[in-house]
Chains A and B, each alone.
Chain A
Amino acid sequence: MTRAEARNLALAAAAFALLAFLPFLKDSGYLLSVSVSIAMYTVLATSWALFSGPTHYISLATAAFYGLGAYVVAAGIGTISYPLLLVLAGIAGAVLALAVGVTTLRLSGVYFVIFTLGLAELIRQVVTWVQNNLTGSRGMYVLTEITERIIYWELLGLAALVYLVGWLVARSRLGFALRIIGNDELVAAHVGINSAAAKLILFVISGVFAAVVGAVMAPRYTYIEPSIAYSPELSFQVVIMALIGGAHRLWGPLVGVIPFALLWELIAARFPTQTVLLLGVAFLLIVYFIPHGVVGRIESALERLRRGTRRG
């Protein structure tokens, strides 16, 4: 570990410690609820970028994993203890990610995008059908004593874990392999990288995180039914946030999450029918104006500045 790395690690730890005290502020009700959203999107967008950032495989399956995690909690809350349910949700996410990854990741990126695009809707149809025909009721109640404060701390812990995992992966041979795959998959194959396996491992990691986030958030809904748990919008929001910020840096998504989450809350409250338009405009903005995210913009500006001073 170099000195700069040690310093960054210490800074990050201090920031997390500081954020952990947020619920103790006076009248923190609204602040806390916004912070829960931001923390949730941060975990989702960062774990999304762990896989999609280096490989450029755009996953639209976040909502499917999230919904799966929420459903695991809803189904087992009466009989199994909550911490165990979080673990089970993670396992369920890993199994789903494995199944999807084995089917699609050995093929080109387009197949993967298409497959994940419909995945949430597919699971929603199947869950609805199972509930209608086998259990009789469509919704489930999640009644727990878990408060928003605890959810916030759980999410904060998950965020720390995501950053830690991301940092470790980026340092490892696996992270190096992924960057090569993202640059040119053919080259990666020629230098002996098992690209399907490398992609699969990262996709499973990001799937597990999304599922656990769903499980953590489940007590907040109190009532869960398929159309709530599997809302496809979530997948797109996560993609936009990560890409606006910049998916090629670990802390890039965070830069996108905070403004976009706040903007989303504002638009959803004032003009609830126009959130779709916001999604569309955000996508177009990313492609045509900030293809490497805000972080990429800042980096290239810094680079130009440095070169300028050296020359001058």
Chain B
Amino acid sequence: MDILITGILLGATYSLIAMGLTLQYGVARIMNLANGEMLVAGAFGAFWVFTAQQASPFAAALVVVPGAFALNWLIYRYLLRPLVRRAKNRGMLEVDSILATFGMSFVLVGIMLMVFGGGYFTYSYLAEPFEIFGSPFALNRVVACLVAVAISGLLYWGLNGTRTGMALRALAVDPAAAGLVAIDVPRMSAFSFALGGAVTAAGGIVLSTFLTMDASIGVVFTMKALIIVIMGGVGDVRGAIVAALILGLAETAVASLIDPGLTLAAAYLLFILVLLLRPEGLFGRRQS
């Protein structure tokens, strides 16, 4: 029971990261390997606001989320658009964007190492017990989960209930066809990429309230987000949420039953199973 609840709490926060990557990879078709670094940057923002300004880490969202949106828009507009134009097919774009975003991720890590140093950073926020079904859980995890659910809900409504959301979903299915029905593909791709970055940074703020981080941990979150996105089916928000919950549960189970050092191994086991059994994702459709 403990494992189930902790797993769900963790999985809900993972779903936030996965949604960020879904918007970037599923819709804008950029395999963004700097995703985790954006998350860590968001976490740094929250850390700074909490320790230097003595304000709630969630207040950092007021600056971090628009900042991440602007930064990601600029990255897409000036660094990735040329690659999209240059690419002759999707495979080439993938190779180019993988290498380019690798570069960006290392540059971001380098900058963060310079600014914040190589040490771990953590702060204590709402570290008090909170009872669910008679057993205690850390309040910060519960709050983080609620915030994540709220943001995910908002995004889900945005994608399924608004005109812009519909355009984004059309783009995820087929960019060429989307252009034919008068969707401004370059503009919507940039918007989607920027939105994905903003969501990821928000995920960083949420995670920072209960996880210890350092400047170079981003790649771990990139891995997890990628595994979730593939497990859920690329471009599928509902699949991403379900997959995030599965990963959260699996990691918690392995951490508490076997060894906390093996969480990545748990994620990998899931990944291998998905690749072998359902490479198109839980809800994906098999390509004919």
A residues whose Cβ falls under 8 Å from a Cβ of B: 56, 58, 103-104, 107-111, 113-115, 117-118, 121-122, 125-126, 128-129, 132-133, 185, 232, 236, 243, 273-274, 276-288, 291
Could you tell me if B104 and A284 are in contact, using CB atoms closer than 8 angstroms?
Answer: yes
With an 8 A cutoff between CB atoms, is B271 at the interface? yes
Q: Given contacts A277-B106, A287-B103, is CB(A122)–CB(B230) below 8 Å?
A: no
5 nearest A-B residue pairs (beta carbon): A280-B106, A277-B110, A283-B103, A280-B107, A284-B103
Please give me the residue from chain A that is nearest to B223 by CB atom: A118
Docked CA distance A81–B222 (Å):
42
Docked CA distance A107–B91 (Å):
12
In the complex, per-residue mask of B80-111: 1 if CB is within 8 Å of any chain A CB, else 0: 00110000000110111011101111111111
Name the A residues within 8 Å of B91 (CB-CB): 56, 108-109, 185
Name the B residues within 8 Å of A110 (CB-CB): 31, 94, 98
With an 8 A cutoff between CB atoms, is B132 at the interface? no
Name the A residues within 8 Å of B131 (CB-CB): none
Smallest distance from the beta carbon of B284 to chain A beta carbons, Å? 12
**Which one of B92, B216, B222, B227 lies within 8 Å of A276 (CB-CB)?**
B216
**Which one of A109, A122, A273 lies within 8 Å of B265 (CB-CB)?**
A122
Question: Which of A232, A285, A288 gathers most chain B CB within 10 Å?
Answer: A288
Could you tell me if B109 and A114 are in contact, using CB atoms closer than 8 angstroms?
Answer: no
Smallest distance from the beta carbon of A76 to chain B beta carbons, Å? 24
Could you tell me if A280 and B279 are in contact, using CB atoms closer than 8 angstroms?
Answer: no
Name the B residues within 8 Å of A104 (CB-CB): 275
Further pairs besides A58-B98, A114-B223: 20, Cβ < 8 Å: A107-B279, A109-B95, A110-B94, A118-B223, A121-B220, A122-B265, A122-B268, A125-B265, A129-B261, A132-B261, A273-B118, A274-B110, A276-B109, A278-B110, A280-B102, A280-B105, A282-B103, A283-B106, A287-B96, A291-B96
With an 8 A cutoff between CB atoms, is B264 at the interface? yes
Could you tell me if A129 and B259 are in contact, using CB atoms closer than 8 angstroms?
Answer: yes
Smallest distance from the beta carbon of B24 to chain A beta carbons, Å? 13
Could you tell me if B275 and A287 are in contact, using CB atoms closer than 8 angstroms?
Answer: no
Please give me the residue from chain B that is nearest to A282 by CB atom: B103
Docked CA distance A291–B131 (Å):
56
Name the B residues within 8 Å of A287 (CB-CB): 83, 96, 99-100, 103
Name the A residues within 8 Å of B154 (CB-CB): none
With an 8 A cutoff between CB atoms, is B63 at the interface? no
With an 8 A cutoff between CB atoms, is B262 at the interface? yes
Name the B residues within 8 Å of A236 (CB-CB): 102, 106
Q: Given contacts A118-B268, A122-B268, is CB(A243)–CB(B99) below 8 Å?
A: yes
Name the A residues within 8 Å of B82 (CB-CB): 288
Q: Given contacts A125-B261, A125-B264, is CB(A281)–CB(B230) below 8 Å?
A: no
Could you tell me if A111 and B259 are in contact, using CB atoms closer than 8 angstroms?
Answer: no
B residues whose Cβ falls under 8 Å from a Cβ of A: 31, 33, 82-83, 91-92, 94-96, 98-100, 102-111, 113-114, 118, 216, 219-220, 222-223, 226-227, 230, 259, 261-262, 264-265, 267-268, 271-272, 275-276, 279
Please give me the residue from chain A that is nearest to B107 by CB atom: A280
Could you tell me if B264 and A118 are in contact, using CB atoms closer than 8 angstroms?
Answer: yes
Per DSSP, chain A at the interface is helix
Q: Given contacts A281-B103, A283-B100, is CB(A107)–CB(B110) below 8 Å?
A: no
Docked CA distance A267–B113 (Å):
15
Name the B residues within 8 Å of A232 (CB-CB): 219
Smallest distance from the beta carbon of B247 to chain A beta carbons, Å? 13
Please give me the residue from chain A that is nearest to B90 by CB atom: A108
Q: Given contacts A277-B107, A281-B103, A284-B100, is CB(A126)–CB(B114) below 8 Å?
A: no
Smallest distance from the beta carbon of B205 to chain A beta carbons, Å? 24
Please give me the residue from chain A that is nearest to B112 by CB atom: A276
Could you tell me if A121 and B264 are in contact, using CB atoms closer than 8 angstroms?
Answer: yes
Name the A residues within 8 Å of B267 (CB-CB): 118
Please give me the residue from chain A that is nearest to B220 by CB atom: A121
Docked CA distance A199–B223 (Å):
24
Smallest distance from the beta carbon of B111 to chain A beta carbons, Å? 7
Docked CA distance A132–B220 (Å):
22
Docked CA distance A240–B103 (Å):
10
Please give me the residue from chain B that is nearest to A285 by CB atom: B103
Smallest distance from the beta carbon of B116 to chain A beta carbons, Å? 11
Docked CA distance A288–B75 (Å):
14
Docked CA distance A279–B103 (Å):
7
